[in-house]
Amino acid sequence: MQVNRRHFLKGAVVASLAASGCQSLGNGKTAKGAPMMGFAAPALEKVRIGNIGIGARGNGAVSRLLRIPGAEIAGLADLHEERVTKQLAKFAGKTPPKHLCHGSEDAWKRLCEAPDIDLIYITSPWRWHTPMAVYAMECGKHAVCEVPAALSVDECWQLVTTSERTRRHCMMLENCCYGFNEMLALNMCRQKVFGTLVHGEGAYIHERLKALIDPKHYDFDSWRREWTQHHNGTPYPTHGLGPICKCMDVHCGDRLARLTSMSSAQFGLTEYAREKFGPDSREAKMVYRKGDMNITSIRTQLGRTIMLQHDTTSRRPYSRINLISGTRGILADYPLRIALEPNTHDWLKPEEQAKIVEKYTHPLWAKSGKAALAAGGHGGMDYLMDFRLMHCLANGLPLDMSVYDAAAWSSIVDLAERSINQGNNGVDIPDFTRGAWQTTTPRDIVM
């Protein structure tokens, strides 16, 4: 069944708001519930998980979660029955999932409603993230979802207000916050190696031409391609933004305050389509609103700056940039380079940099890096993300990332497009914490 995206989102928003008894909270002035800053739910002896969406990311998530002690996959849901049943082979020697939900577009709701599930793990297409997370929390479950967690500011507020009212965690699965170099940077920032932080740069530069347009690699009606047809800006800002926000203690003494965004024209998809399918093909004649390169500049409340880039159609090597700069030094990635006082005009020599990396390797990587590398998943970062999530839920600890992080980082999708549509004008970023960022202190270096 094909669902018009615009009509679906409108219906999903209305349904979610009706279920929660709230009105649209574009300004965030109305709150029904308690703040979730530092929130810790009761410890769980066993974390019983319901996985929604068993595509590429969902398939990997099932494999990883089965390796983590104390985690039990109690249910699987997907529109396609064969995706669900195919996963059962992985459960040899383990308790198989009790709930297998498939065959209709709302089959996933049965998983959320099951009484013997604690956590809903969402790896569905973007447009479903907020409706599924909201429904899961309404059903008394903690919810985690892939990036971005929301596609509009209104959806961001839905996540925040539902989490606050239901007292359930809502975390975005931003795996890049757990990368080795990202956590190295975080540890160095916490120890003031770079002095006062001034600027950060992040990106999602990943050539995905075949995935976006070639039906041999992706269904022609794919949701990723659909987004590029109807929207401009940066649909995937959080891989670059999340680690920088962690380094800058965003929501723990600072916040994202204002942005401006600009996109290039669109060249890559059309040129590729002409080369691959011919100038008269439907692929070549499609109109795509999203420019090839988007640059979004953000200023924090304390005056730091962040530059984000997004480009999935230019033919160039993968990069997240991953740069953090302060008054005493800088770390830049792809490849990793570090410059520190007293000689910040030159990058450290390889042997000098190796000593710095060894000294400041994040404790989580020092302790669990071998297990992460063995489990795989983007170099181990996916495993560490899931490992930490289960550890925090099992021990009744606050999660490494809050619903406010999910909302603020995801809001850039909507706000960048607004800026572009307004002639690249500046746009304010809502304070989803309603001022709580001013009195919240950073967590321990375990994250």
- Which residue type is seen at 80? H
pLDDT at 33 (0 to 100) = 87
Interacting residues of 180 by C-beta distance below 8 A, sequence separation 6+: 361, 362, 365, 369, 379, 380, 381
pLDDT at 227 (0 to 100) = 93
Contact 153, 430 (CB under 8 A): yes
Residue 11 banded pLDDT, cuts 50, 70, 90: very low
Q: What is the pLDDT of residues 265-305, one digit of tens each?
A: 999 999 999 999 999 998 899 999 999 999 999 999 999 99
Which burial class, exposed, middle or buried, applies to 262 when counting CB atoms under 10 A from its CB (0-12, 13-18, 19+)? middle
pLDDT at 214 (0 to 100) = 79
End-to-end CA distance of the chain: 42
- Cα separations (Å) of 394 from 44, 75, 148, 177, 399? 5, 19, 25, 21, 11
What is the Cα–Cα distance from 314 to 267, expressed in whole angstroms?
Answer: 9
How much is the average pLDDT of 123-150? 97
What is the Cα–Cα distance from 33 to 300, expressed in whole angstroms?
Answer: 27
How much is the average pLDDT of 213-230? 77
Sign of the torsion angle spanned by Cα atoms 429, 432, 434, 437: negative
Domains of the chain: 5-29+44-173 (3.40.50.720), 177-438 (3.30.360.10)
In terms of Cα–Cα distance, which of 341, 322, 342, 340 is closest to 332? 322
What is the Cα–Cα distance from 368 to 165, expressed in whole angstroms?
Answer: 35
Least confident of 5-19, 346-360, 409-423: 5-19
